[in-house]
A and B are shown apart, each in its own frame.
Chain A
Amino acid sequence: MIHDFGIVWSERDLLLSGLGNTTILSVLSAIAALLIGLVLTPALMSKQPWLRGTVRGFVDGMRCVPFLLFAYIVYYGLPSLGVRFDNWTSGLVALTIYNAAYMAEILRGAWAAQPREPIEAGVAFGFSNVGLFRRIVLPPLLLAAGPVIGNQMIQIIKDSAFLTIIALPELTHAAASIQSRHYVPFAAFITAVFLYWGLCLVIEAGVGSIDRLAAARR
Chain B
Amino acid sequence: MSAGDVLAILGGAVVTVTLSLTGILIGLPIGLALAVLRWADVPVVARIVAVYVSILRATPLVTLLLLLFFALPNIGIAIGPVSAAILALVMNTAAFNCEVWRASLMNFPRDQYEAAQSVGMSAGLRFRRIVLPQIARTSLPGLVNEMSLLIKVTPVLAVVGVVDITRAAVRIGAETYDPLPPFLVAVALYAPIVFVLVSLQRWIERRQVLAEAAA
With a cutoff of 8 Å between Cβ atoms, the chain A residues found around residue B54 in the complex are 197, 200-201
With a cutoff of 8 Å between Cβ atoms, the chain A residues found around residue B195 in the complex are 60, 64
Query: A172 contacts B66, CB within 8 Å?
Result: yes
Query: B58 contacts A154, CB within 8 Å?
Result: yes
Which residues of chain B from 142 to 158 have any CB-CB distance to chain A below 8 Å in the complex?
Answer: 151-156, 158
With a cutoff of 8 Å between Cβ atoms, the chain A residues found around residue B66 in the complex are 172, 175-176, 179, 185, 189
Of the listed residues A157, A162, A183, the one surrounded by the most CB atoms of chain B closer than 10 A to its CB is: A162
Known contacts A154-B57, A185-B74; decide if A73 and B62 are in contact (CB<8 Å).
Answer: no
Q: Chain A interface secondary structure, helix, strand, loop or mixed?
A: helix
Query: A161 contacts B60, CB within 8 Å?
Result: yes
Does A148 reach chain B (CB closer than 8 Å)?
no
Does B64 reach chain A (CB closer than 8 Å)?
yes
Q: Could you count the A-B residue pairs with CB atoms below 8 Å apart for me: how many are there?
A: 128
In the bound assembly, the distance between CA atoms of A53 and B60 in angstroms comes to 33
Kindly provide the distance from the CB of A117 to the nearest chain B CB, expressed in whole angstroms: 25
With a cutoff of 8 Å between Cβ atoms, the chain B residues found around residue A72 in the complex are 166, 170, 179, 183
With a cutoff of 8 Å between Cβ atoms, the chain A residues found around residue B186 in the complex are 69
Q: Chain B interface secondary structure, helix, strand, loop or mixed?
A: helix
Query: B63 contacts A175, CB within 8 Å?
Result: yes
Tally of A interface residues using CB under 8 Å: 44
Query: B60 contacts A162, CB within 8 Å?
Result: yes
In the bound assembly, the distance between CA atoms of A70 and B178 in angstroms comes to 16
Residue of A nearest to B62 (CB): A161
With a cutoff of 8 Å between Cβ atoms, the chain A residues found around residue B63 in the complex are 161, 171-172, 175, 189, 192-193, 196
Query: A73 contacts B183, CB within 8 Å?
Result: yes
Does B180 reach chain A (CB closer than 8 Å)?
yes
Does A80 reach chain B (CB closer than 8 Å)?
yes
Known contacts A63-B198, A68-B166; decide if A186 and B62 are in contact (CB<8 Å).
Answer: no
With a cutoff of 8 Å between Cβ atoms, the chain A residues found around residue B159 in the complex are 165
Kindly provide the distance from the CB of B59 to the nearest chain A CB, expressed in whole angstroms: 5
Query: A197 contacts B191, CB within 8 Å?
Result: no
In the bound assembly, the distance between CA atoms of A69 and B189 in angstroms comes to 11
Kindly provide the distance from the CB of B34 to the nearest chain A CB, expressed in whole angstroms: 17
With a cutoff of 8 Å between Cβ atoms, the chain B residues found around residue A193 in the complex are 55, 59, 63-64, 67
Does A66 reach chain B (CB closer than 8 Å)?
yes
Does B123 reach chain A (CB closer than 8 Å)?
no
With a cutoff of 8 Å between Cβ atoms, the chain A residues found around residue B151 in the complex are 66
With a cutoff of 8 Å between Cβ atoms, the chain A residues found around residue B178 in the complex are 80
Which residues of chain B from 185 to 215 have any CB-CB distance to chain A below 8 Å in the complex?
Answer: 186-187, 190-192, 194-195, 198
Which residues of chain A from 164 to 187 have any CB-CB distance to chain B below 8 Å in the complex?
Answer: 164-165, 171-172, 175-176, 179, 183-186
Does A61 reach chain B (CB closer than 8 Å)?
yes
Which residues of chain A from 120 to 138 have any CB-CB distance to chain B below 8 Å in the complex?
Answer: none
With a cutoff of 8 Å between Cβ atoms, the chain A residues found around residue B59 in the complex are 158, 193, 196-197
Known contacts A77-B180, A200-B57; decide if A185 and B187 are in contact (CB<8 Å).
Answer: no
In the bound assembly, the distance between CA atoms of A63 and B194 in angstroms comes to 8
Q: Contact residues of A with B, CB < 8 Å? A: 60-61, 63-70, 72-73, 76-77, 80-81, 154, 157-162, 164-165, 171-172, 175-176, 179, 183-186, 189-190, 192-194, 196-197, 199-201
- The contact sample of 6 A-B pairs, CB cut-off 8 A, is A63-B198, A184-B74, A190-B67, A193-B55, A196-B58, A201-B54
| Interface contacts beyond A159-B60, A200-B57: sample of 16 additional A-B pairs, CB < 8 Å, sorted by A | A63-B194, A64-B192, A65-B152, A66-B190, A69-B187, A77-B184, A157-B60, A158-B58, A158-B61, A161-B60, A172-B66, A185-B71, A186-B74, A189-B63, A199-B58, A201-B58
